[in-house]
Structure 1
Amino acid sequence: MSNHVHAVLRSDPVTPWQWTDREVAERWLALFPGSISDRDDPAYVERATLALLGNAERLDVIRQRLGSISWFMRALNEPIARMANREDDCTGRFWEGRFKCQALLDEQAVLSCMAYVDLNPVRAGMCETLRDAEHTSVRYRLESAQSAIAKALGKGKQEEALKPVAGLDVDTLSDLTESSYIELVRWTGLQAHPDKRGKLSATEEMPPESLWSVAKHPAEWMERVQGTESNYYRAIGSAESLMLKAVELGQRWMKGVSGEFALTKLREQPLLCHRSLTACWTSR
C-alpha cells in the first residue's frame, strides 16, 4: 500500500535451535552478509562462517533472531524506509510506529486473513480488479495460473492445490485449489456495500462452492474477513481457540470471543442445502 504493508507470516522460533551451528551461520550470512564484499568467493564466505562458528554467544543471538517476527519486520521495514528517504531526499523516521501483530489460531483465521490482505488495494479504491491489485499474492496466483494453463493447454493439466503461507502444510488449508481460492477472494470483493468504495466491479452472484469448505454461512465468512482488524485484537480464530489463547496468556477474555459466539448462533440457524440457496441468498 502507499503508506503501510500487510503480511501473513508463519512464525517458527523453535526450528532455528534445531539447526547445526554451521547451518545457522550460513543462513545468517545469506541474509546479512555484512562485510562480505564478494559472495561468489567461497574462501571469503568460509572465513566469515568460521568467525561466527567461533562465537557461541553470537550464534545464540542469531538463532533467536532467525525465528523472530520482530527481527523479520526490522529487516523488511528498514530497506523500505531507506529507499523512501532517498526518494524524498530526507532523513529521519519513516514508519509511524511499531508494527501490529495478530496470531492466527486456526485454518479459517489464516484463510480469512489471506483474503483480507489480498483485497487491501480494492478496499482502498486503488483498483477494481484483482489483476490490477499490485503487490498481492492473489495477483501472483492469477499470473501463475494463466502461465500454467498456457503451458499445459491440451495436456489435461490437473488443478493445483492451493499454495499456502510459506511453511504451512497444504493440508492445513482445507481442500482449496489455486483457482477456487482466487474465485473465493473475487466473490468476497463483490460483497461490499454498493454505496461504498472497495468493491470489485461485477454483478451480484451466488457464493462459490469453495466458501462452504471454510465457513457454514456466507455471512460468517464475510464477518471474519471484514472484521479482521476491527473485531479482533491480539488473536483471530474461533471462540474456543480464542479462549484457549486467553488462558495461555493468563487472561480471562479476549476481544473477538463475543462475535465468534454470535457466529456460532448463526451457524445453528437452519439452512437450506447450499446447492439450492438461491432464494435465501438473493433475497437479502
Structure 2
Amino acid sequence: ANKQDECTGRFWEGRFKAQKIVDEAGLLACAMYVDLNPVRAAMADAPESSQFTSAYDRIRATHGERQVAATDETVIDEEEKPQEQLDLERRLDEAQQAGRDAAAKRLGRQLERLLDRLRQQRAEQLRRVEADAWLAPLELNERGRPSPKASRDGVRASNKGFLSMSLTDYLKLLDWTGRQRQPDKRGTIPSHLAPIMERLGIAPGMWADLVWNFNRYFGRSRAAGSPDGLKAEAQQSHRYFIPGQRQVASCFA
C-alpha cells in the first residue's frame, strides 16, 4: 500500500503499533499475558477476580452467570421518545410556565407513570446472554472449514475459536501460571497439562517466565511466537531475524 501511494508509511508507523502473533505458542502466551494483567498490576489476586478480562467473563459463564447483551441502560433517548411522552412533556412545560400548579402536578404524575411503563418495556426487550457471549469461543473447531465462521447472533463476530485446547484446560493452565508469581505457591506444571507444552514445543519450566515476562521477550519485536515461527516470519518479510528471536529460544525445548 505504501509503494502504491508512493509514501514511506512513517506517519502511521509512528502512531499505530500492531504486533503479529505468528503461531499458537505466541497466541497462548499472549492471551494469558493479557488475562493476567490485573494480577500483575496487583489489582486482583487471581483470574477469577480480574474484572474486565476475557478470562473473568469465561469463568462467570461456567458458573451460569448471564448479562445484558448490549446495555442495561433503560433511559429513553430523545429520538426514541413516543409521541405520548412528547405530548405530556409539552403540556407539563406549558402548565409550569403558566403557573398552573395543580395541572402541573397532575401531568407530572401521568408522565412518571408513563416513564415507569416505558422503562419496564425497555428492560424486557434487552436480551440476557451468557457472560462470555461477546467473546469468540476459546476452543478452535478444527473440524470446521478454515475460512472465518461469522456469528449470526449479533453479539460476537466469530464462532470459530482460536486455541487447540479446551476452556477447562486453559483456565487450569492460567490458574497455575498465575500462582507462579507467588514464591510460596510455585510448583511443577500439572501432569495433565504437560502434553500442551510438549505439543507447542515449550519448555515446561520456562512457561511461566514466558508469560509473566512477555513484554521482555517481545516488547521490542514486530512479532511474537516460537523461535521457528519467528524465523519463518523473518524469511517471509525478507529480514535476517526478528527481535526477540534469540532470547525466546531459551523458553522452548
Per the normalisation by structure 1, the TM-score is 0.46
2: CA distance, partners of 1:119 / 1:99: 24
Aligned length: 149
1:238 corresponds to: 226
Out of 116, 139, 152, which is 2:33 matched to? 116
Q: Secondary structure at the match of 2:193?
A: helix
1:225 corresponds to: 211
2:58 corresponds to: 141
Change (3 A) 1:225 1:188: same
Change (3 A) 1:118 1:249: same
Based on CA coordinates, which of the two structures has the bigger radius of gyration?
2
2:245 corresponds to: 257
1:212 corresponds to: 195
2: CA distance, partners of 1:179 / 1:112: 16
* Aligned residues of 2:176 and 2:189 also touching (Cα < 8 A): yes
1:55-204 correspondence to structure 2 within 5 Å: 98-147=15-64, 162-163=138-139, 167=158, 169-170=160-161, 173-174=163-164, 176-192=165-181, 194=183, 203-204=185-186
Q: Secondary structure at the match of 1:243?
A: helix
* Aligned residues of 2:44 and 2:50 also touching (Cα < 8 A): yes
* Aligned residues of 1:184 and 1:211 also touching (Cα < 8 A): no
Per the normalisation by structure 2, the TM-score is 0.51
Instruction: Note the residue ranges of structure 2 that are not aligned, 5 or more in a row.
Output: 1-11, 66-136, 141-155
* Aligned residues of 1:181 and 1:210 also touching (Cα < 8 A): no
Shift of 1:99: 4.6
Change (3 A) 1:166 1:189: farther
2: CA distance, partners of 1:211 / 1:169: 25
Q: Secondary structure at the match of 1:244?
A: helix
For 1:217-268, what per-residue CA distance to the aligned partner results, in whole angstroms no more than 9, with x for missing partners? 322322321232221211011212212211222211111211233334xx2x
Change (3 A) 1:241 1:260: same
Once superposed, what is the RMSD of the aligned Cα atoms? 2.8
Identity of aligned residues (%): 30
* Aligned residues of 2:207 and 2:251 also touching (Cα < 8 A): no
1:24 corresponds to: none
Q: Which amino acid aligns with 1:118?
A: D
